Amino acid sequence: PEEVLAFDLWKEPLEDPGIRVCVAVHEGNVVGATEYRYYEDLNVAMTDFTIIGQAGLGIGRFLAQKRLEDLNAWAAENGKQLFGMFAEIYDPYRVEHYEFGGIKPMDPYVRREVLSHLGYKRLDFPYVHPSWNNDGEAVTGL
């Protein structure tokens, strides 16, 4: 819940053709989701968030594979081969207080390691994100 927009704020993002959402469904229940976008002018993608709601089902790998398949097709529609993808995650050394519902794959330490295994590299520069609460406060620790 710490990094997800309130339900009523999803209307505009879901209508944006530049944003896509992929969900994982297991036994009739949504158990994970990832939201991402493709910047045609830069030929790069940005993973805005990935949420895993149940550990041990391979949800993260499933979502990563489906997202990459879709992004490769999206880039191909643009006449290009996808150059790369960025993702923002909490810095585990700066935000240890987040529990993320007790789901271990959501732990910033675990996420950092998983992204590393997927080929992501760490970029070290100051970064803040606008507040999910729409209160003008910056989200730090990313």
Q: Quick one: average pLDDT of 107-116?
A: 83
Q: What is the pLDDT of residues 21-44, one digit of tens each?
A: 999 999 999 999 999 999 999 999
60 part of a folded domain: yes
Q: Where does the pLDDT of residue 1 fall: very low under 50, low under 70, confident under 90, or very high at 90 and above?
A: very low
95 in any annotated domain: yes
Q: Is residue 33 part of a domain?
A: yes
Cα separation, 134 vs 124, whole angstroms = 26
Any domain includes 119: yes
Predicted pLDDT at 105: 60
Is 37 a domain residue? yes
Give the pLDDT confidence of 4-25 residue by residue, as tens digits. Answer: 556 677 777 778 888 999 999 9
Q: 55-105: per-residue pLDDT in tens?
A: 889 999 999 999 999 999 999 999 999 999 998 887 777 776 666 666 666
pLDDT of residue 97: 66
Does residue 2 sit within a domain?
no
Angle at 74 between CA 24 and CA 23, to 5 degrees: 10
CA distance 69 to 63: 10
Taking a C-beta distance cutoff of 8 angstroms, is the pair 8, 133 a contact? Answer: no
Q: Residue 2 pLDDT more than 60?
A: no
Say what the pLDDT of residue 85 is: 93
What's the token pair of residue 4?
A: 């997800």
Q: Which residue has the tokens 């997927």?
A: 118
Classified as helix, coil or strand, 91 is: coil
pTM equals: 0.78
User: Which range of residues forms the domain containing residue 33?
Assistant: 7-139
Residue 1 lies in a domain: no
Q: Domain count of the chain?
A: 1
- What lies within 8 Å, CB to CB, of 4 at 6+ separation is 49, 51, 132
Q: Indicate whether 122 belongs to any domain.
A: yes
Q: Looking at the chain, how many residues does it have?
A: 142
CATH of the domain at 20: 3.40.630.30
